[in-house]
């Protein structure tokens, strides 16, 4: 424990001033001759005490280490004794109340109380040695009682100062911890913002790929078809141009719907969206059928949107990569989960390495990420279609409500 000189800094100077005033007053008004040497020594002792206070505060402020504080306490005790011997008024005995006060601050409660008891014993011993039968003289008994009261007040004030210092230290510790916590929270908030930004970036990337990517791919396919059949089959070419125009219009509509969804939630119908998608994808070279069982009412929009985006990706893969001539789309709404199955008779994913389930194509990866974020599952089988030797079967299962709160389509 260290002595805090700033705990109650005004006590020693006030006490020194009071003792100086009392000693000089007694020397002036006393009947005996004024002893200049004794009075000068008395004043010099008080000056040295003030000098010790100044040195301690300048050298060790705001707290004095234990060893220097103990040395200073011993020096003060010696000066207190010298001043008390040179003081004829007896007022200087009040200086000894600073001994338990300072000891309490330096060494703690037990040492402070022991020093206070030691001061009382010292005073009683001095009375006993130099004042015969002092205990029957009112002035000495009164002085002893007042001295004991002063010691009690000094120890109490030291206890208050220590508690205040400890409370201030705890408060500073709490404030430092709060500041550290605030810094950590700021770092966590920044990290969360970065993760949220990355998550939103991935979501937007999936949305662009699944929506605009699908329709732009369909537009490209239809325009290629229109170019190929322009001379041989004008009717098929015109139909392809019409389908390309529809895909472009549908892409624009979905962009508008996505923007509107950011402002207010509009109901999304997976069955209607699938029917619209299947109707415009099929032609004389590709047959697409849709089978729906159950009711989509009560399903979360994020789950339904995930199934729709998966259907778009699967149909695009079957048409463009698999060169399928028949695609069957089945949507089944159960009590707790919905399942979408897209089966085709094309060449499967093995025809295009970039589209394989184990590949790194963004379409397959985005499909899995979107569904798994909702607590669903994606299964892809290249050769399990019972109606064809080749082909692919994409099965997607999602819960009625997303397992991840706050998920969006």
pLDDT at 330: 95
Parse the chain into domains and list their residue ranges.
11-180, 283-409
Please list, in sequence order, all residues whose beta carbon lies within 8 angstroms of the beta carbon of residue 381, skipping any fewer than 6 positions away. 392, 393, 395
Each residue's pLDDT tens digit, 318-345: 877 767 889 999 999 999 999 999 998 8
* CB under 8 A, 24+ apart: contacts of 44-51: 45/79, 45/82, 45/83, 45/86, 46/16, 46/19, 46/20, 46/83, 48/79, 49/12, 49/16, 49/76, 49/79, 49/80, 49/83, 49/95, 50/13, 50/16
Q: Assign 360 a pLDDT band (cuts: 50, 70, 90).
A: very low
pLDDT at 257: 63
In percent, the amount of the chain with pLDDT more than 90 equals 8
Each residue's pLDDT tens digit, 140-190: 888 888 888 888 888 888 888 778 877 888 888 888 888 888 888 878 877
User: pTM (2 decimals)?
Assistant: 0.40
**Cβ atoms of 344 and 385 closer than 8 Å:** yes
Segment of 47-51, 57-61, 155-159, 347-351 carrying the highest mean pLDDT: 47-51
Q: Is the peptide bond before 62 cis (omega within 30 degrees of 0)?
A: yes
In percent, the amount of the chain with pLDDT more than 70 equals 79
* Range in 117-126, 326-335, 350-359 with the lowest mean pLDDT: 350-359
**Cβ atoms of 392 and 380 closer than 8 Å:** yes
User: Pairing mode, if any, of strands 326-333 and 287-293?
Assistant: parallel
pLDDT at 349: 60
Each residue's pLDDT tens digit, 269-284: 899 889 888 887 776 7
Number of neighbours of residue 322 by Cβ within 10 angstroms: 25
Task: Give the integer Cα–Cα distance in Å for 189 and 239.
Answer: 54
Q: What are the φ/ψ torsions at residue 337 (nearest 5 degrees)? A: -135, 155
What are residue 327's DSSP bridge partners? Answer: 288, 344
Provide the mean pLDDT of the chain.
79
Which CATH number describes the domain made up of 283-409?
A: 3.30.565.10
From the number of C-beta atoms within 10 Å of its C-beta (0-12, 13-18, 19+), residue 404 rates as: exposed
Q: What are the φ/ψ torsions at residue 293 (nearest 5 degrees)? A: -130, 145
| Residue 409 in this model has a pLDDT that exceeds 50 | no
Each residue's pLDDT tens digit, 59-113: 877 677 888 888 888 888 888 888 888 887 778 888 888 888 888 877 888 888 8
């Amino acid at each position: 424990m260290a002595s805090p000189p700033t705990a109650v800094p005004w006590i020693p100077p006030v006490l020194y001033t009071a003792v100086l005033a009392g000693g000089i007053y007694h020397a002036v008004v006393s009947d005996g001759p004024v002893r200049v040497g004794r009075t000068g020594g008395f004043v010099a002792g008080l000056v040295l005490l003030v000098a010790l206070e100044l040195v301690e505060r300048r050298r060790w402020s705001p707290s004095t280490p234990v060893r220097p504080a103990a040395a200073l306490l011993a020096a003060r005790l010696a000066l207190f004794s010298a001043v008390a011997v040179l003081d004829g008024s007896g007022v200087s005995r009040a200086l000894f109340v600073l001994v338990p006060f300072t000891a309490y601050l330096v060494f703690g409660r037990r040492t402070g109380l022991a020093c206070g008891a030691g001061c009382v014993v010292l005073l009683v011993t001095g009375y006993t040695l130099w004042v015969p039968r002092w205990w029957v003289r009112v002035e000495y008994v009164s002085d002893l009682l007042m001295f004991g009261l002063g010691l009690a007040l000094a120890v109490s004030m030291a206890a208050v100062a220590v508690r205040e210092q400890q409370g201030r230290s705890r408060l500073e510790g709490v404030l430092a911890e709060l500041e550290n916590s605030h810094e950590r929270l700021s770092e966590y908030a920044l990290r969360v913002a970065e993760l949220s930004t990355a998550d939103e970036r991935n979501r937007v990337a999936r949305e662009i790929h699944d929506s605009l990517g699908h329709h732009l791919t369909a537009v490209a396919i239809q325009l290629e078809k229109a170019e190929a059949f322009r001379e041989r089959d004008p009717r098929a070419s015109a139909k392809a141009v019409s389908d390309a125009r529809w895909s472009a219009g549908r892409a624009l509509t979905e962009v508008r719907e996505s923007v509107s969804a950011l402002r207010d939630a509009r109901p999304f119908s997976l069955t209607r969206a699938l029917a619209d998608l299947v109707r415009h994808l099929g032609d004389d070279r590709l047959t697409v059928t849709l089978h729906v069982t159950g009711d989509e009412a009560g399903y979360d929009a994020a789950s339904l949107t995930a199934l729709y985006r998966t259907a778009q990706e699967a149909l695009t893969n079957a048409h463009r990569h698999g060169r399928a001539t028949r695609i069957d789309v089945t949507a089944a709404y159960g009590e707790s989960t919905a399942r979408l199955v897209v089966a085709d008779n094309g060449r499967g994913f093995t025809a295009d390495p970039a589209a394989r389930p184990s590949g790194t194509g963004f379409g397959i990866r985005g499909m899995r990420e979107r569904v798994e974020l909702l607590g669903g599952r994606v299964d892809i089988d290249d050769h399990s279609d019972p109606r064809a030797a080749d082909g692919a079967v994409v099965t997607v299962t999602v819960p009625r409500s997303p397992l991840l709160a706050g998920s969006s389509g």
